[in-house]
Structure 1
């Protein structure tokens, strides 16, 4: 995998792109691929062709406003995961509220400081990736996925998680989703086990639920599978960071190696674990790596 293929894509939507030249240069220097759209309609057309990792969106534009553009993005399931950061001169509280109500995850008032935008962007891209990987893991090994807000309320649940929560009679997760690992008894004597795998957004936490039968009958199965795979210490390090939602580029920077080397380690990990996707490896690691 080439370094170019690992670059995150940012779609910048603004009717005065010339005013954002310095910011776009900073984004490119930071390793992002920047796409531009002069208005909301053009942005939606771009999204038909490419799925960016984030959108920087002006609110006040001719034709579709940024608020309406954001609502249309969030209304499409294939785009809804993309974090939208409003970057606009509208600074009134009512405008900021409109931005969040439309589906934005953040709101930056112009003139925007590049360092601030980069910091916010990196956080939201990382969080969105963690959510996306966990939701992909719904189909891997029969896991369930929960996104829980800061008050312990369930903001999103996968169909499998919904079924298990109904079994446990636990529509509200406040009373038992505590710490890093939590469990809830089921009427038939089994236990529903949940593991916190990271942040999913502003004040939100991401949890993976494992099948109750597996949790009761063979709690060490994931750890045993990883142990029997005979991963090298370096492969375990790479896998542990991937399980935390880190990109190849992130892992490379953390471990002091090239993204290409990280990718090669992951190829070996996939082969040894008998999985084909990053999401499958991450799901397995989140349940078993701590026990190795």
Structure 2
């Protein structure tokens, strides 16, 4: 067995202070040593840095450690097959962006469809022809490199951006800030955020507004509320036939709520209730926003009336708007 066929982590060039090689990194996953040998030699001669794995678990470990630029993945392996490996890679934020090219002897339509549904960007049939594989890799590597540069630029500027594939309902990639905002506004507690599952409300909005855009109509933004903060999502552009770019922007009126607390000696929850009264929301709406019952909102509002010296929600809203406006002018 060649040294690079070992399934121990030692041959990975683990990311413990060792610099990532300048050459593009290819991870080959196949349980047949002869296939690994042929591909390894061909890719190595073409200037690629090559990593290998002979089963699914090793593939996931290597991908998480080395973050290769592309994965050549055998579809049929004992234990965890290639389709499941692909799904798991696409479900992780750190590996979801890596293009996957399936290697398969299964050319029936259902298997080809399964490869793409699992997250593959292409497939090659066995017996493997190294020159064809290298040509396919070069094409996908160029696209992946450009996408990586764009993601790195967005991350560097702190932009909250993600791309969603409408057909599969999967997030293709997202910046760290976008992932943080999704977790906050959709109540997702699992870490890391599972990219294979886009919240239903978000996916339904993307599908509806992309259809509108396809008819030449301007897509409408999606606004989500979290206390005095609001997340506004805009459908930006289509990056491919079924991938749509989403840009998020968080709008915060925390300063307004704090001003109400200080001016009228309100509690935080009372100030939040008053804030949404000013916005024209009903007690039921406010309860849904703040996670309280309408009866609890009514009780908070009674305390607000007492502290403001008013008797109606209209009077309370008018007084609050005047006070905030006067503070803004100072």
Aligned with 1:26 (options 42, 58, 67): 42
Aligned partner of 1:97 in structure 2 is: 113
CA distance in 2, matches of 1:16, 1:100: 23
CA spacing shift, 1:140–1:73, aligned 2, 3 Å: closer
Deviation at 1:89, TM superposition (A): 1.0
SS at match of 1:62: coil
Deviation at 1:54, TM superposition (A): 0.8
Aligned partner of 1:243 in structure 2 is: none
Aligned residue pairs total: 195
Q: Tell whether 2:151 aligns with 1:135.
A: yes
SS at match of 2:21: helix
CA RMSD of aligned residues (A): 4.3
CA spacing shift, 1:143–1:47, aligned 2, 3 Å: closer
SS at match of 1:6: coil
Unpaired stretches in structure 1, ≥5 consecutive residues: 163-169, 178-182, 187-193, 212-292
Deviation at 1:13, TM superposition (A): 0.6
CA distance in 1, matches of 2:87, 2:164: 22
Normalised by the length of structure 2, the TM-score is: 0.46
Normalised by the length of structure 1, the TM-score is: 0.51
* Higher CA-based Rg: 2
CA distance in 2, matches of 1:7, 1:15: 25
User: CA contact under 8 A between 1:150 and 1:203: conserved in structure 2?
Assistant: no
User: CA contact under 8 A between 2:28 and 2:52: conserved in structure 1?
Assistant: yes
SS at match of 1:5: coil
Aligned partner of 2:93 in structure 1 is: 77
Aligned partner of 1:14 in structure 2 is: 30
CA spacing shift, 1:173–1:206, aligned 2, 3 Å: closer
Aligned partner of 2:66 in structure 1 is: 50
Deviation at 1:47, TM superposition (A): 2.4
Unpaired stretches in structure 2, ≥5 consecutive residues: 1-19, 183-205, 222-234, 250-330
Aligned counterparts, 1:66-215, within 5 A: 66-141=82-157, 143=159, 145=161, 159=178, 172=209, 203=241
Extract structure 1 runs of 4+ deviating beyond 3 A.
139-151, 154-160, 170-177, 202-209
Aligned partner of 2:315 in structure 1 is: none
Aligned partner of 2:76 in structure 1 is: 60
CA distance in 2, matches of 1:136, 1:145: 11
> Which gives a bigger RCO, structure 1 or 2 (Cα 8 Å, sep 6+)?
1
Deviation at 1:48, TM superposition (A): 3.6
